[in-house]
């Protein structure tokens, strides 16, 4: 519930701070005193759009702060989901800077207006006359019925399954769309895949073939140079191998004379060993040089195949060809296995649908059972509010369609006159009747759900006398279960509040300012008497005011 509202530099308000308590609180004041300014400030701190016109002094920032006790609202999960610190007494602050920039905070953590508006819906319901049109909204009608049907947990379970079903249906549609497109390309993709599969492309094959072809195309030069190199190495008189043998022999004779000569001998021996190895490899290479025209043709054919495949698929290497092969493999496999995937997805949808059907059936049965009770309560309350002939025709009809809150179609019809035809609320009920119906609905909801603080903004417009007493009584009863704030012009309603606040204007140094104060018992008698008789308060008005308060 709202425990405190502080306003600084907003519209006609310099500074205002007021505490609120549980039960029914009343706000009164002359027309134009600033009740709409209070609601505007409250709307601002709860997420309404702001601009510089909200500032009383455009050189100083505007600050509106609301303290709200939320321990009874089960909001821990919401605070966690939006990454906010949960506090049993939460402080919401809104600032408008002279630059026009707006900032919002929850427990000193900056938040977006979207988060603020989400939080607002869970904390405070500001009800004005135009909001009675909400009565014709199907989702609100379901909310009323489900409150009496105690469907909260069932609908929460249903919604989880409904979201899952929607996700699965999207996946199925995506699979079906992909399959249709894939089927169009299947034959061509299969041809390309088979072609690459038959080609047996290997990642490093191309470079090896190109190197081998280069050797075969230069076989004569290779043979000539290998032969001459071998001759230079093993010639009996001037060959490198023979000369190294001689050099090794010469130095070995003096190696024992000094360490220096021994090191030279060792190095020459190493060179001789390396040379012997080179000669062996030269002999092997020379023996292996062989020109095979058929091999050249095979290599050329193989390379040409690879080049053609690369050109066909707009790539430059075998590595890229292999990637194309994998993609084609996936496309072909997708088509060939699509039927199984589709069947598996359909089976999951069928299983979820069966579970949803079972929950929807329970929701529907609970709704049908609750309809007589809801009809009876609303008609009883409206009779008390002067609508003796008010009748409701409420029907929940099961359908085959999955809605976000079940599978029912709800018909919520109303007749205000005896023997009159039933019709939609917005078509057959007047503004005053809608206000009383909404009050009755809120009364029923307050007894069956944990409603947030509700602020009635002149819901009593157009009523008087005994009906106003009944409205006041209903508000008082609602105040037993929740915090109710009523802005009113009727003394009968003002007298029923456990707390009474007055909005008033005063002029300070030639500047008009709006203020709000909580009235004492004596001030309250005077205020109600003034509401009864005007500025010139009569003795009878005082007596009447005391009677109303007692």
DSSP calls for 16-81: EEEE--SSEEEEE--TTSSHHHHHHHHHHHTT----GGGBSSTTS-EEEEEEEE-TTS--HHHHHH
Query: What is the Rg, in whole angstroms, of the alpha carbon atoms belonging to the chain?
Result: 46
462 pLDDT above the threshold of 80: no
The better pLDDT of the pair 354, 536 is held by 354
Within a domain: 462: yes
In this prediction, residue 115 carries a pLDDT of 92
Within a domain: 48: yes
Beta strand pairing call for 24-28 and 484-487:
parallel
Helix (H, G, I), strand (E, B) or coil at 6: strand
Shared-domain flag, residues 190 and 277: yes
Shared-domain flag, residues 193 and 108: no
3-state SS, one letter per residue, for 332-371:
HHHHHHHHHHHHHHHHHHHHHHHHHHHHHHHHHHHHHHHH
Q: Please identify, among 291, 323, 338, the residue that sits at the C-terminal boundary of a domain.
A: 338
Shared-domain flag, residues 189 and 98: no
Residues 6+ apart with CB under 8 A from 132: 431, 434, 435, 437, 438
Shared-domain flag, residues 115 and 205: no
C-alpha dist (Å) from residue 266 to 154, 256, 280: 94, 12, 21
Shared-domain flag, residues 63 and 193: no
324 pLDDT above the threshold of 90: no
SS3 content of the chain, % helix, strand, coil (to 5): 60, 20, 20
Residue with tokens 């290497």: 317
In terms of residues, how long is the chain? Answer: 550
In this prediction, residue 486 carries a pLDDT of 92
Helix (H, G, I), strand (E, B) or coil at 145: helix
3-state SS, one letter per residue, for 399-453:
EEEEECCEEEEEEEEEECCCCCCCEEHHHHCCHHHHHHHHHHHHHHHHHHCCCCE
CATH no. for residue 27?
3.40.50.300
State which residues form the domain around 502.
Answer: 1-128+449-519
Span 95-153, pLDDT tens digits: 999 888 899 999 999 999 999 999 988 888 888 766 777 888 899 999 999 999 999 99
Q: Tokens representing 195?
A: 């072609």
Average pLDDT, the chain: 87
> Terminus-to-terminus CA distance in the chain, angstroms?
27
Residue 18: which pLDDT band, with cuts at 50, 70 and 90?
very high
Q: Please identify, among 288, 307, 338, the residue that sits at the C-terminal boundary of a domain.
A: 338
Taking the CA atoms of 241, 247, 250 and 255 in sequence, report the sign of the dihedral they define: negative
Residue 337: which pLDDT band, with cuts at 50, 70 and 90?
low
Q: Name the CA dihedral angle for 538, 544, 545, 547, rounded to a multiple of 10 degrees.
A: 150
The distance from CA 529 to its chain's CA centroid, rounded to whole angstroms, is 53
Shared-domain flag, residues 80 and 185: no
Shared-domain flag, residues 47 and 185: no
Shared-domain flag, residues 50 and 194: no
448 pLDDT above the threshold of 70: yes
Alpha-carbon gap, residue 231 to 219, rounded angstroms: 18
**How many structural domains are present in the chain?**
2
In this prediction, residue 130 carries a pLDDT of 65
Closest Cα partner for 313 from 193, 473, 416?
A: 193
Within a domain: 423: no
Give the max Cα distance, the chain: 150
Shared-domain flag, residues 117 and 198: no
The better pLDDT of the pair 131, 300 is held by 300
Alpha-carbon gap, residue 460 to 397, rounded angstroms: 35
Residues 6+ apart with CB under 8 A from 25: 483, 484, 485, 486, 497, 498, 499, 500, 501
Closest Cα partner for 531 from 476, 492, 485, 497?
A: 492
In this prediction, residue 230 carries a pLDDT of 84
Helix (H, G, I), strand (E, B) or coil at 101: coil
Shared-domain flag, residues 272 and 329: yes
Backbone angles phi and psi of 499, in degrees to 5: -135, 145
Closest Cα partner for 459 from 485, 479, 426?
A: 485
Within a domain: 280: yes
Q: Provide the b/e sequence for 101-121 (b: ≥16 CB within 10 Å).
A: ebebebeeeebebebbebbbe
Task: Give the H or E element holding residue 541.
Answer: helix 539-549
Strand partners, 67: 4, 91
293 pLDDT above the threshold of 80: no
Task: Give the H or E element holding residue 91.
Answer: strand 89-96
Shared-domain flag, residues 313 and 232: yes
Span 195-233, pLDDT tens digits: 888 888 888 887 778 777 777 777 778 788 888 888 888
In this prediction, residue 206 carries a pLDDT of 79
534 pLDDT above the threshold of 70: yes
Q: Please identify, among 310, 338, 366, the residue that sits at the C-terminal boundary of a domain.
A: 338
Shared-domain flag, residues 124 and 180: no
185 pLDDT above the threshold of 80: no
Alpha-carbon gap, residue 548 to 528, rounded angstroms: 9
The CA angle 454-68-480, to the nearest 5 degrees, is: 45
Residue 501: which pLDDT band, with cuts at 50, 70 and 90?
very high
CB 68 within 8 A of CB 21: no
Span 410-435, pLDDT tens digits: 999 999 888 888 998 888 888 888 88
C-alpha dist (Å) from residue 177 to 166, 186, 337: 16, 14, 15
Within a domain: 312: yes
CB 456 within 8 A of CB 436: no
Residue with tokens 């001037």: 238
Within a domain: 388: no
Within a domain: 112: yes
Q: Tokens representing 310?
A: 């690369």
264 pLDDT above the threshold of 80: yes
Within a domain: 375: no
Share above pLDDT 70 across residues of the chain, in percent, rounded to a whole number? 97
Span 357-410, pLDDT tens digits: 999 999 999 999 999 999 999 999 999 888 999 999 999 999 999 999 999 999
174: left (phi over 0), alpha (psi -120 to 50) or beta: alpha
């Amino acid at each position: 519930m709202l425990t405190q509202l502080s306003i600084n530099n907003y519209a006609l308000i310099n500074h205002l701070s007021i505490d609120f308590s549980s039960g029914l609180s009343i706000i009164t004041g002359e027309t134009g005193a600033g009740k709409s300014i209070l609601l505007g400030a409250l709307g601002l701190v709860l997420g309404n759009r702001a601009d510089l016109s909200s500032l009383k002094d455009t050189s100083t920032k505007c600050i509106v702060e609301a303290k709200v006790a939320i321990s009874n609202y089960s909001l821990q999960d919401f605070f966690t989901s939006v990454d906010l610190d949960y506090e049993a007494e939460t402080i919401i602050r809104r600032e408008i800077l002279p630059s026009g920039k707006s900032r919002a905070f929850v427990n000193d953590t900056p938040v977006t207006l979207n988060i603020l508006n989400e939080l607002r819906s869970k904390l405070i319901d500001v009800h004005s006359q135009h909001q009675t049109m909400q009565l014709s909204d199907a989702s609100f009608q379901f909310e009323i019925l489900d409150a009496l049907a105690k469907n909260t947990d069932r609908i929460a379970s249903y919604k989880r399954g409904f979201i899952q079903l929607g996700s699965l249906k999207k996946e199925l549609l995506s699979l079906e769309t992909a399959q249709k497109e894939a089927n169009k390309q299947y034959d061509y993709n299969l041809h390309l895949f088979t072609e690459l599969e038959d080609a047996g492309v290997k990642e490093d094959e191309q470079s090896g073939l190109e190197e081998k072809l280069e050797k075969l195309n230069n076989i004569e030069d290779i043979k000539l140079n290998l032969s001459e190199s071998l001759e230079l190495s093993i010639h009996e008189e001037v060959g490198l191998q023979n000369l190294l043998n001689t050099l090794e022999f010469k130095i070995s004779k003096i190696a024992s004379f000094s360490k220096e000569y021994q090191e030279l001998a060792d190095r020459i021996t190493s060179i001789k060993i390396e040379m012997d190895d080179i000669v062996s490899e030269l002999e092997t290479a020379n023996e292996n040089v062989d020109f095979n025209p058929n091999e050249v043709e095979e290599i050329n054919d193989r390379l040409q195949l690879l080049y053609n495949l690369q050109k066909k698929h707009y790539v430059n290497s075998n590595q890229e060809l292999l990637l194309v092969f994998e993609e084609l493999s996936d496309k072909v496999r997708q088509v060939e296995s699509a039927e199984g995937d589709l069947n598996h997805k359909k089976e999951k949808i069928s299983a979820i649908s069966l579970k949803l059907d079972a929950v929807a059936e329970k929701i529907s049965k609970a709704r049908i059972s609750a309809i007589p009770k809801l009809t009876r309560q609303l008609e009883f309350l409206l009779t008390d509010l002067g609508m003796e002939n008010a009748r409701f025709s409420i029907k929940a009809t099961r359908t085959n369609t999955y809605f976000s809150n079940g599978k029912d179609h709800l018909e919520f019809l109303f007749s205000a006159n005896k023997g009159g035809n039933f019709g939609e609320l917005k078509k057959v009920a007047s503004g005053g009747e809608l206000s009383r119906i909404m009050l009755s609905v809120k009364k029923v909801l307050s007894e069956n759900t944990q409603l947030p603080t509700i602020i009635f903004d002149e819901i009593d417009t157009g009523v008087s006398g005994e009906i106003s007493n009944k409205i006041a009584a209903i508000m008082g009863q609602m105040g037993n279960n929740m915090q109710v704030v009523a802005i009113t012009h009727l003394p009968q309603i003002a007298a029923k509040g456990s707390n009474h606040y007055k909005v008033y204007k005063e002029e300070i140094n030639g500047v008009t300012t709006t203020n709000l104060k909580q009235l004492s018992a004596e001030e309250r008698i005077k205020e109600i008497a003034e509401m009864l008789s005007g500025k010139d308060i009569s003795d009878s008005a005082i007596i009447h005011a005391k009677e109303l308060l007692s």
